Amino acid sequence: MKRPRHVCLSLLLLVTSLASVSSQVNPGVCRYPLGMSGGQIQDEDISASSQWSESTAARYGRLDFEEGDGAWCPEITVEPDNLKEFLQIDLRSLHFITLVGTQGRHAGGIGNEFAQMYKIKYSRDGSRWISWRNRQGKQVIEANRNAYDIVLKDLEPPVIARFVRFMPVTDHSMNVCMRVELYGCEWLDGLVSYNAPAGQQMNLPEHVVYLNDSVYDGAIIHSMTEGLGQLTDGVCGLDDFIDSHVYNVWPGYDYVGWSNQSFPGGYVEIMFEFDRIRNFTTMMVHCNNMFTHNVKAFQQVVCYFRSEMDWEPTPLTFSPTLDDEDPGARFIPIALANHMASAIKCQFYFADIWLLFSEITFQSDTAMYNTTLTPPKTGLPPIIQPEDDPTHKVDDSTTRILIGCLVAIIFILVAIIVIILWRQVWQKMLEKSETFIYSHNQSSSATSEQESSSTYERIFPLGPDYQEPSRLICKLPELAQNSEEPASSSTAAQDGVPHYAEADIVTLQGVTGGNTYAIPALAMDLLSGKDVAVEEFPRKLLTFKEKLGEGQFGEVHLCEAEGMQEFMNKEFLFDVPEEATVLVAVKMLRSDANKNARNDFLKEIKIMSRLKDPNIVRLLAVCIYSDPLCMITEYMENGDLNQFLSRREPEGQLALLSNSPTVSFDNLCYMAAQVASGMKYLSSLNFVHRDLATRNCLVGKNFTIKIADFGMSRNLYSGDYYRIQGRAVLPIRWMSWESILLGKFTTASDVWAFAVTLWEILNFCKEQPYSQLTDEQVIENTGEFFRDQKRQIYLPQPVLCPDSLYKVMLGCWRRNTKERPSFQEIHRALLEIQS
Ligand SMILES: *[C@@H]1O[C@H](CO)[C@@H](O)[C@H](O)[C@H]1NC(C)=O
Ligand SMILES: *[C@@H]1O[C@H](CO)[C@@H](O)[C@H](O)[C@H]1NC(C)=O
Ligand SMILES: *[C@@H]1O[C@H](CO)[C@@H](O)[C@H](O)[C@H]1NC(C)=O
C-alpha cells in the first residue's frame, strides 16, 4: 500500500505544480535570484562592516558583476579568531531564502581573493540576529576555491529573513573578497515567529522519537519563543513519523509533537506573530495521523485574533472530522474568515495522546505563491533542484487515491515523454550557453552521508578574453609543440608583457620548491625546439661537496665536476675555467617525485637550456637517462651575493679597524649593473623572474654576477619568505604591491624587486628589507601602496646611496607599473653612476 501511495502523491504534486499558484511555499521552486546580480537590490541596501577602498565597497559585492575593483573586500585581513567582517543585504521585506551563491574577486584576471568559508547571519527585524546552522548544527559553509567560479549552497534549513549577512571565515589570516547572491522568494505568509510549548520525546519500545523543533531559531526553554523553525521550513513529514525525511537525522525529525499528559487543559496553544496586520483567509496545519501509535490530528481548534492592542473577545472555532481509517499525514485547512490580525493564537485540542505537526502555513491578502517556472518579477528563471522532493502532501481519501492512480498512469507516460524531450533540449542548452549545472550529492535513504549539503558549480563559458590559468597550464604541452598557433592578442597586456593570470603563464614549481622563472606560453613557443641543446653528463664524474638546499621534490647539491670543460667549451666563448674540476650546482629530483614534478623538471630543463646570457646562470648538462634526474648548472666560487656582501664592509675607517675585506662603491655598482643586465635579457624574452634578490645572485671572480633561482629552497633564507593566503610561500619583502595583493607578476614587479635588491647591495646585506616591520605589517604597507595616500613606508636611502640612485629606486616603487623604469633604463642609469 505504501509504495503506490507515494507514486500517487508525487503525481498529485505534479498536477498541483502545473497550476500556477499555491497556498504554501515550495522550497523546490522558491529559488529565484533575489537581485544582487539582477540589480533589483539597490546599492543602498547593500552595506558592510568595512571596506578596503572605495572601489571595493559593499555595492561591488554583487555576484557576477565586475564593477569597481571587482568585489566587496573588507578593510582588514580576516583572521581566524576575529570574525567581525560582514557583507549585509537588506531585502526590504521578509523572504524565504533557500540558496546562496558566492564568488571571489577576479577582476578580469587581476584579482585572486575569495572566501574559502563563510557563515550566514540573518534577521527579520534588523535587531535580533540569528546565526544560521545546518540540520546537523554546523554553521560554517564551505565556499570558494578560486576567484572566479560561483559556488552555490543550499540553505538546509532555509531561512526566513529580511536582512542577511555573509561573514567570511578563514583558518588562517588572509585577504578576502566576496560577491554574493541570495535565492528564494518572498515570504507571503508574513509570519515572523511562532511561540509554542517545546516539543517532547516519545518513548516507543524500539525507538526514542525526538519531537523537538530542532531548527527553531528563537529561544527554547520550556517553551519556544520568538522564532521560526520546522513548522515553517517547507518540509512536510512522512506518514510514518518515525521515518525522518531525507535528512536522516533522528526518528521523528520532521515533526514537532506534544503528549496530552503535560497539558491538563487538553490543548496545545501556539501563538503566531506577523509582520503587519493582514486579512487572513486560511491556515493549513500539516498533521500526522498515525493512530496505531496514538497520534491523531487535533479534534478542535480555537483561534483568537489580535489586530491592534487587544485580543478579539470571540474566538473562531473549528472541528475537523476525525479520521480513524487513513493513517496518512495530511494538511487540514482552517478557514479564517477574513479576520484582520497581526497575531493569531490557536488552541489545538488533543484527539489522542499525541499531537504531531510538521508544517503550518497562512494565506492572507489573497497572496499566493508562484510555483510554476515563470518567475514573479525578476525575469529570471529559478534555480531548481533536479530531485523531486515530496514536500507537499494533500488531504486525500481512498477514492481520491484510486482516481489519482488512474490519472497517475496517464501522467507517468506523459511525464516520461516530457522528461525525455526536455533532457534532450537541456543537453543542447548546456552545450550552447552559460548554464548552471547541478550535482546534488545527497543520499536519499543511506545512513552513510552525514552531510546533506549539496554543491552546485557554475560552468563558465571560456570567452575569448577569459583565460583560466589552470587550464592553460594543462594545455601547455600541445602549445609548446604547436608553435605556429598564434598567441591570442587579448592576452597581451598594455605594457607589452603578458600579465600573470590574464596571460598564459607557465609557472614551474622548481624541484626545490622554488618557482623558477614564470614564462608566458608565448615565449615558451619560441623556446620549444626539436633539439634541446643540453647533453647528458656522466653521473660518476660528479663529486658531492655540500648540500645547498632542499625542497619538497628534491635537493640542490654543490658538486665538483670533472671534465665539464668539454661541455662548456662548445658554445661558451667566455668564462672557461682553467682548472680540471669546476664547481657546479646540481639540482636533483627525488626519485619518488610524482609525474607532475617530473614533467615540470623536464620543462625547467627546456627553459634553462635556452637562456644564454653572461649574467644568467647557465645550464651545463643534465643526467636524465636514469634516476634521479639532475640538472647541472654553473656555480661560482664566491657563493651567493647575500653571503658574499654580508661578510664584507664598505671601504673606509671601520673596515680598516675590523680588518674585514672591503668592496668599493664602484664594484657595488658594477655588480648591480650586471644584475640589471641579466634582467634586461630575461625581460627581453618576456620572462618574469618572480624572486629576484641578492640570495639568488651568484658571485664569481672579479665581482662577476650571475642570476640564479634557488634561494627559496635554502633554510638560510627561510625568513625571507612568508606563506600568504594559503597560496605559495612568497618573498613578500621583495614583492611589489600588485604581486602581493593581486597575484600579478610582471617585468614591472621584477623591476620593483630589483630596486629592493639594489637596496640590499648598498646596505651590504646587513639588514633585511623593512626589518622593523613584521610580515603582517609588510602586507599592510602593501595596502598603503595600493591606496597611495602618502602613508606607505619606503625603504630608506642607504648611507652609501647617492641621491640620483635613490631616485631610480623610488622610481621602481611607483604605484603605477607603467611609470616604473625598464631594465634598459636602469642598466643605463647604473652605468652612468659608475663612470
Ligand atoms: C532535539 O533533540 C535532539 C535529540 O535529543 C537533540 O540532539 C537536539 O539538540 C534537540 N534540539 C533542540 C533544538 O533542542
Ligand atoms: C479581506 O479580504 C476580503 C476578500 O478579498 C475582502 O472581501 C474584505 O473586505 C477584506 N477585509 C478587509 C477588512 O479589508
Ligand atoms: C490523553 O489521551 C488519552 C486518549 O484520548 C486519554 O485516554 C487520556 O486520559 C488523556 N490523558 C490526559 C492526562 O488527558
- Does a structural domain hold residue 786? yes
Q: Tell me, what's the pLDDT at 549?
A: 74
* Separation of CA 214 and ligand 1 centre (Å): 6
Place of cell 510555483: 371
Is 831 a pocket residue for ligand 3 (Cβ < 6 Å)? Answer: no
Q: Distance between the two ends of the chain, CA-based, in angstroms?
A: 100
Spacing, Cα 684 to ligand 2 middle (Å): 80
| One domain, residues 143 and 288 | no
Which of 36, 90, 100, 87 lies closest to 58, judged by CA?
Answer: 87
The CA distance from 618 to 572, in Å, is 10
Assigned domain for 22 exists: no
What secondary structure does DSSP assign to 134-175, as a single string? -TTS---EE--SSSS--EEEEEEEEEEEEEEEEEEE-SS-B-
The last residue of one of the domains, among 164, 186, 208, is 186
What local confidence, expressed as pLDDT, does residue 402 receive?
54
Q: Does residue 550 sit in the same domain as residue 633?
A: yes
Ligand 1 atom nearest residue 212's Cα: 1
Say what angle helices 665-684 and 747-762 make with each other, to 10 degrees.
170
Q: Based on the structure, what is the number of domains in the chain?
A: 3
Per-residue pLDDT tens over the stretch 708-741: 875 444 545 666 666 554 445 678 899 998 888 7
Which ligand has the nearest atom to the CA of 363? 2
Active site residue 788: no
Please indicate, yes or no, whether residues 202 and 168 belong to a single structural domain of this protein. no
Q: Could you tell me if residue 316 is inside a domain?
A: yes
The ligand placed nearest to the CA atom of residue 252 is 1
The reply to whether 156 and 195 lie within a common domain is: no
631 close to 601: Cβ distance less than 8 angstroms:
yes
Domain end marker among 382, 412, 435: 382
Question: Which atom from ligand 3 is nearest to the alpha carbon of 294?
Answer: 4
Read off the CATH number of the domain in which 593 is found: 1.10.510.10
The answer to whether residue 617 is domain-embedded is yes
Same domain assignment for residues 708 and 781 = yes
| 694 domain-assigned | yes
Does 687 fall in a domain?
Answer: yes
> Is residue 577 exposed (0-12), middle (13-18) or buried (19+ Cβ within 10 Å)?
middle
Task: Report the greatest alpha carbon distance in the chain.
Answer: 113
Domain limit, last residue, from 361, 382, 403: 382
Q: What is the CATH number of the domain that holds 215?
A: 2.60.120.1190
**CATH code: domain of residue 48:** 2.60.120.260
Counting ligands in written order, the one closest to the CA of 201 is: 1
Nearest CA to ligand 2 atom 4: 338
**Ligand 3 atom 4, closest CA:** 352
The range of the structural domain enclosing residue 822 comes to 504-834
CA 341 to ligand 2 center in whole angstroms:
12
**Beta-strand (E) ranges in 652-796?**
662-663, 697-699, 705-707, 722-723, 729-730
Same domain (yes/no): 176, 237: no
23 within a domain of the structure (yes/no): no
Q: Is the dihedral of CA 707, 709, 715, 718 positive or negative?
A: positive
Q: How far apart are CA 709 and CA 604, in angstroms?
A: 12
Distance 318 CA to ligand 2 centre (A): 21
Output the pLDDT for position 29: 78
Please tell me whether residues 521 and 623 are part of one structural domain: yes
Tell whether 313 and 332 lie within a shared domain: yes
Q: Are residues 266 and 336 in the same domain?
A: yes
Q: How far is CA 433 from the centre of its chain?
A: 24
Residue 402, in any domain of the structure: no
Residues of the chain with pLDDT under 70: 1-21, 81-82, 244-248, 366-367, 370-533, 551-552, 567-579, 655, 710-729, 835
Are residues 180 and 219 located together in one domain of the fold?
no
Both 47 and 123 in one domain: the answer is: yes
Question: Nearest 5°: phi and psi at 703?
Answer: 60, 25
Cβ-proximal residues to 656 (8 Å cutoff; 6+ apart), any chain: none
Residue with CA closest to ligand 2 atom 8: 338
User: Based on the domain organization, do 57 and 76 belong to the same domain?
Assistant: yes
Cell (9 digits) for 566 = 668539454
pTM higher than the cut 0.85:
no
State residue 691's pLDDT score.
85
